[in-house]
Structure formats: C-alpha cells, structure tokens
Amino acid sequence: MPRLELISWWPAACVLVGLLRTVCVGADEQPPGVSIVRFHGYDDCLRLESGNTRVTLCPRAGGRVLEYAWKGTNALYLPPGDEGWEYQSDKDWGSMNAGRFDIGPEQTIAAHPVLWAGRWKGEPLGPRAARLTSQADAGTGVQLVREFRLDEKTSRLECRQIIRNVGKVPREYCHWSRTFAVGKGICVIPLTEPSRFPEGYVMYEPDSLINFRPRDARIRRMDGFLVITGAPRQPKLGMDTAGGWLAYQMPNNLLFVKHYAVDPNRPYNEVAGLTMSVWYPDGPMCELEPIGPRERIEPGQSASFTETWYLAERAAPGNPDDINPRDVARQVQGLLAPAKP
C-alpha cells in the first residue's frame, strides 16, 4: 500500500535536473508512451498512453488530469464550453472540471487561485510518466508538484502530489483530491471500525452544520460497505474509514477506483477529521475526494501523498439498488493485486 513520507528538497538540484531534462528531451524525442498534444483547447497537454488507457494532463490551467480514458471512454467530467480557458485574476477562477487536486484543510486554508487554477509547468518524467509543477504561492507559502506514472500494461495510474514549503515558517496542510467523475453513478466505500460516526458518515447541512446522524434513502450500509446510489438530499458527505479505497460505478459501464493510504494513528485536520469526502450533487458530476493526514512541513522541506487510480469494465445495474458491494469489492481487490510476472 502506498504511504505518506516526508522528503527533503534541494532547490538547486531540482533546477539542474529540470534543465538537463529540457535539454535531453526535445519536443520530438519524448520517452515511450509520452506525447505533447492539443486537447480541449490547450496545445501543450502531455499525454500518457499504454494499451487501452489514455491519460491527458493539462499544465496550462490548474495542473489537472483532463482525460483518464479506457478504450476511448473518459471517466472524468469534462463538458464542452470551457475549452482553452486560462486563469487571469483573483476574480476569475473559471470552470475547473475533470481531474482536480488541491490541498487543505478546506475551511481554514488561505485562498490560493494560483495553485488551483493558474499556469503550471509540464515536463516528461520517463516512460508513460510526466511531472506538473505549479508556481510558488505567496498566500499558502507552498509550491505543488504532481507526478503521474501510467502502468505499461494496465489502467493503473499513480498520482503523487508533493507539497513544498517555499516560505520561511512551518506550514500545516493536507492532500485533498477533488476529482470530478462522470455523474449519476454509484459509490461503494468500505467501512471500518472503530468509527467516530454512528452511520459511518456525516452530512454537511446548511448554515455550516455537520450532521453526525444523517438519514437518506440513497445512502445505505450494506455488508460492511457504505453505498451511495444517487444524489442525497445534501451533496457533501464525509467519512473516516481506514479502508483505503473507494469505487465508483459509472453509468458508462466503467468502474473507477481510487486506492490510497490511511494512517489511523495520525491526525486528519479537516473539520470532522475526514479521510475521504464525496460531493454528489443532483447534476452531471460526482466529486471523489481522498484526504491525507495533517503534514507539518518545515521551511525547505516537502511532504507527499499518493493515490492510485484504476479503470475497469463493469456493467452498470439497471436499478442502482441492485448493486452488490461484495462483488464490487472482489473486482477492486483483483485490480489492486500485484501483477503476475
């Protein structure tokens, strides 16, 4: 299982490595499985490809994943209408869709539109791998780096986010994934004990209230799993599960899985101590949000968090209530199992 780690950061070495890579890898000499393409109105996207999987990264606006596709079907919500959009000012945050990442905690972090939506730098990192690097952000005192590595034969996509403290004082942040997947699907989440939440989850109500005993007909506990079959009465939900994965059955017959580390012995600094959140509005997208533990990062140091994505074919049930979470879990475990030589 991937784990969190604190890593040292040597700025001069990073600059030197970046310069050498720029010199050695020209536009026409990309590593295997890496290309520069025009996609969704951006002419500098990095594409990673292997077998039936295609990943398209966008450095121009927010360091996002615009496409995570299996046999040409994109799992990410990327509607028409915002092609080529670029961040211009603090008042223009734009329409940020598809594979978004962020840092938290959500309610107390300073506004950081340059990290969230600004221009990033993209570069190949090796076969089927690329790195996106943000600008340094004065408000938060950090710079973000995202590294993506696609498996040679499967849909396995490793997504590693690094938080660098480029300021002069210690900072405390956490990883916060905010991926928009295609909506109208079914979430299957393993529950673990002990939990602080009587129902296995909390629901964010109006007026900044957090309901720790919610009731909703579209959210059920089934055989040790939390199953969300449709948009609940309030869209934002939070969990403290240590299961380390979530599965999302999409109506386009794809199963989207996120796998990530959870450490029950470390503090999680979202308001309700969440390890995961789901934002499920009555609309065309569903937000899947693994959350990392609190990281105290000293000046000149970094912290990282890795979540690994998978796609697999799975027929969507005609009736969402017919989903079998144990069958979904068996398929997830098959995806997570080490590949046979």
Asked if residue 317 belongs to a domain, the reply is: yes
Assess contact for 148 and 55: CB atoms under 8 A. Answer: yes
Which residue ranges in the chain fall short of pLDDT 50? Answer: 1-27
Assess contact for 242 and 259: CB atoms under 8 A. Answer: no
**CA-angle at 209, arms to 208 and 214, nearest 5°:** 140
- 293 in helix, strand or coil? coil
Q: Which domain, by its residues, includes 325? A: 5-336
DSSP per residue, 184-231: S-EEEEE--SS-SSTTS-EEEETTTEEESS---TTEEEETTEEEE-S-
CATH of the domain at 296: 2.70.98.10
Give the length of the chain: 341
pLDDT at residue number 299? 98
Asked if residue 341 belongs to a domain, the reply is: no
pLDDT at residue number 339? 66
- 142 in helix, strand or coil? strand
Domain count, the chain: 1
pLDDT at residue number 8? 42
Structure tokens at 66: 């615009």
Pairing of strands 186-190, 245-249: antiparallel
Other CB atoms within a 10 A radius of the CB of residue 12 amount to 7
